[in-house]
Amino acid sequence: MSVANRLVVGDNLAVLATLPEASVDLAYLDPPYNTGNDFAYADSYGPHAAWTAMMRPRLVEVRRTLAPGGAVAVSIDDHEVAHLRLLLDEVFGEACFLAQVVVNLNPKGRQLGRGFATSHEYLLVYARDARACVLDASTTDTVDPADFPHEDPGEPRSYRRLPLRNTNKKFNPVTAPTLHYPLWGDPASGEVRSSAFDGALEIRPVFGDGTPAVWRWSAPRVDARPGDLLCREVRGRDGVRVDVFQKDWLEPGRRKKLRTIWLAEEVGSTDTAVAELKALVGHVFESPKPTGLLRRLLATMPSDARVLDPFAGSGTTGHAVALANAADGGTRTCLSIDVATPVRPGSNAELAGLATVADVTAARLRAVDALLGGGFELEAHVQGRA
């Protein structure tokens, strides 16, 4: 059985070139941010061109390693988000764009410097193949039971009421004629059928302004699921009328579509990320990502996903993989890649005896294994293999 976490120390472009095609389900990249004054790849074309030139071959290799159902997510800030979006369109194709998520990593906002107090970064998400991608952009975390306030006697599930009529005016008797038909309902008992019965009123779908609409369900589906429908009186623009509602049940494991703004209270912040790392190996990295951010991303993929992090940094992705496996019994694996770049002289990492960024990664993943299990392997990249 594969270990949960494997770290290869070496240049990520060289290591990526050794990985088999279609061997990864989810790639997460947190590349060095180009702030315009501290980017190490400056050249005569300017810092944006240099940063893009650094990223392009790495993204090409990441795409090659992704399985047809795979996806990539890249963290970035304002300095390069526009250039990165164009680069990802170039490498993956515009049709494979899934989302540009705003991540609220610094709720207080950065107070130093001029201008606005920036409180967010971005997460750009692309599919390897939009038609085959298995990423499920939903979660159980944001489902609120308070949104399902209704109950039936003897029924353990609660529900919310959704109009059975299609509220989108693009769907109407002209565009969807087979869904414009009468239903029969009794507002006293709540019963709904596709044919008349004693005490029932004929109900045709209409929009709020009284113009004809269509149902979301066909008549055979109405007859097949009578317990999921409800007839009630409603007050509209022209007074009281009778309408039909779907009982949308709160089922165990119900999921809700992810919004494209992720708040710190949902996924963690830079401060909570520092605290997580400090609890394992000390305050040895300046701006780690919170594990909650990666766990939300991991939850969009199957529980046996093969994960790749070519810019491993403090090792947040591997930590999140171990946490996710411990929580749901999954068998996710993570391949982290980090280069042995010396840490800043006099930094907390150096004072803790960690000479390189890869040493920080390894220290964290060892501590994660000791705490959560799953295993950890460390390997130095040798030319021609990883």
Domain annotation for the chain: domains and CATH numbers: 5-141+255-380 (3.40.50.150), 145-249 (no CATH)
pLDDT at 150: 97
- The answer to whether the beta carbons of residues 312 and 10 sit under 8 Å apart is no
* Spacing of C-alpha 312 from chain mean position: 19
pLDDT of 46 reads 65
Q: How high is the pLDDT of residue 41?
A: 43
- Gap between the Cα atoms of 91 and 66, Å rounded: 13
- pLDDT, residue 1, reads 59
pLDDT the model gives residue 44: 46
pLDDT in tens, the chain (386 residues): 589 999 999 999 999 999 999 999 999 999 987 655 444 444 445 678 899 999 999 999 999 999 999 999 999 999 999 999 999 999 999 999 999 999 999 999 988 878 899 999 999 999 999 999 999 999 888 899 999 999 999 999 999 999 999 999 999 999 999 999 999 999 999 999 999 999 999 999 999 888 999 999 999 999 999 999 999 998 877 778 899 999 999 999 899 999 999 999 999 999 999 999 999 999 999 889 999 999 999 999 999 999 999 999 999 999 999 999 999 999 999 999 999 999 999 999 999 999 999 999 999 999 999 999 999 999 998 665 55
55 within 8 A of 47, measured Cβ to Cβ: no
Q: Under a CB-based contact definition with an 8 Å cutoff, are residues 65 and 26 in contact?
A: no
Give pLDDT, residue 42.
44
- The model's pTM is 0.86
